[in-house]
Amino acid sequence: MPCSSSSGSGEEEDEGIDSYRKGGYHAVRVGDAFAGGRYVAQRKLGWGHFSTVWLAYDTHRSRFVALKIQKSAKEFAQAALHEIEILSAIAEGDPSNSKCIARLLNHFKHAGPNGQHLCLVVEFLGDSLLRLIRYNRNKGIGLKRVKDICRSVLVGLDYIHSELGIIHTDLKPENVLLVSTIDPAKDPVRSGFTPILERPEGSLNGGTVININEKKLKLKAMRAAAKISQRRESMGGVIEFERSLEGIDLRCKIVDFGNACWGDRQFATEIQTRQYRAPEVILGAGYSFSVDMWSFACVAFELATGDVLFTPNHGQGFSEDEDHLAQMMELLGKMSRKIAISGTRSKDFFDRYGDLKRIRRLKFWPLDRLLADKYKFPEPDAREFADFLRPLLDFAPEKRPTAAECLKHPWLGNSKVASK
């Protein structure tokens, strides 16, 4: 679960009250204290299927942190223990906190009316890359910024892959966070927010915290965002966007290791969020660290263009998986027969010749042409960016470059390695 104001909830606005029951979420109120009074809840940052995440104040260290409170049922507790194991290894190997991975600061158990909840305390970070993409109305953030962000992500991937043997398995824009918020007013330090140290009078109990001041602030923020959007359009789109990003810290960190695994201890066969899923996962052909590199390429494309690289759908007579494979081949060329028939699910999609069974006509549009023709990248930019991305999207997982190799690619030039 992201440790920022980003919600892990997709399009829904809140987690609903139904899951606040035995085995489910813990109901939190502003001012509630945890770990013997050390951490005090300030406001909800987001939620996911496994947990809610709160901005909290660490009274021992006088700092703001993200407090992730897991559901109490056994399976959720086991998932939390697994994430604690992964994040502890990451923190132990990175004493200087410079490897572009969100840092686990503490963990403890909290007893509540719905059971015992495992809680993770993680450094407070800012907005997700998804928020950054949406900030410019999905128009792309500019290649210079893409390069800087790519370097941060690659530093993190190189660390977990080569030094720790960890596969993230769910890299996507929601799971990479800027180290600070896009809007300073949403940052508790930069905005001068005074921490709440006890429960305010009149705070209400229940599954979702009703806070009148918070609702007023949200309404004010929405109105301000609408004005910014209108101003952007009136002042010429991209130019105004360039100005609006001035001064924003683009250093970032990879978060959410709830689905991560050790390279030699894999738990799930179906991994990765759909749009960022590698072909070997769809085919059931096994996977390794290179699945993260495929997802990384998809994220880089999305940052540059504002669009998701692959958007598969099911249609008449074919599945979402088959459409996904077809879209991959339209962009990257036909998959070799050897790879096409290599997985446990290959027969669901391919005939014995390595051709898709139900989608026969493919419309090929190579990556460099897509960037130039659809997204109007200048020809040199389209060619150089495609040259960086294309090897990462090789159908043969063993041929994809490692994160360390990507960091040496000439396309990245002299962009600064962005770490905190």
How far is Cα 55 from Cα 39, in angstroms, rounded to an integer?
Answer: 10
**Catalytic annotation, pick one of 32, 127, 170, 256:** 170
- Residue written as token pair 């159908």: 395
Name the token pair of 114. 């719905």
Report the binding-site residues for ATP: 68
* Strand, coil or helix: 381: helix
Output the pLDDT for position 299. 98
The confidence score (pLDDT) of residue 336 equals 97
* Residue labelled with tokens 């990462």: 392
Q: Domains in the chain, start-ordered, CATH in brackets?
A: 33-124+190-229 (3.30.200.20), 129-182+248-412 (1.10.510.10)
> Is the entire prediction scored with pTM above 0.95?
no
DSSP lists the bridge partners of residue 167 as 261
Strands 51-58 and 166-167: unpaired
C-alpha dihedral, 103 to 402 to 131 to 372, nearest 10°: 170
DSSP-based three-state secondary structure for 79: helix
Closest CA to 287 of 383, 392, 397: 397
Q: Quick check: 156 and 163 in contact, CB under 8 A?
A: no
Question: Which residues of the chain register pLDDT less than 50?
Answer: 1-11, 204-212, 231-241, 415-420
Q: Which residue has the tokens 């590698």?
A: 278
Q: What is the pLDDT of residue 81?
A: 96
- For helices 290-305 and 379-389, what crossing angle results, to 10°? 160
Examine the residue annotation and report whether 94 is marked as an active-site residue of this protein.
Answer: no
CB-neighbour burial class of residue 117 (10 A; exposed 0-12, middle 13-18, buried 19+) = buried
pLDDT, residue 13, reads: 62
Q: Which residues fall in the annotated binding site?
A: 68
C-alpha distances out from residue 135 to 9, 125, 371, Å: 18, 17, 21
Q: Name 221's Cβ contacts closer than 8 Å, sequence gap at least 6.
A: 183, 185, 186
pLDDT of residue 248: 83
250 close to 418: Cβ distance less than 8 angstroms: yes
Strand stretches in 94-161, DSSP E: 104-112, 115-123
The token duo for 296 is 């990384």
Can you name the residues that pair with 166 across neighbouring β-strands? Answer: 262
Maximum C-alpha span of the chain:
71
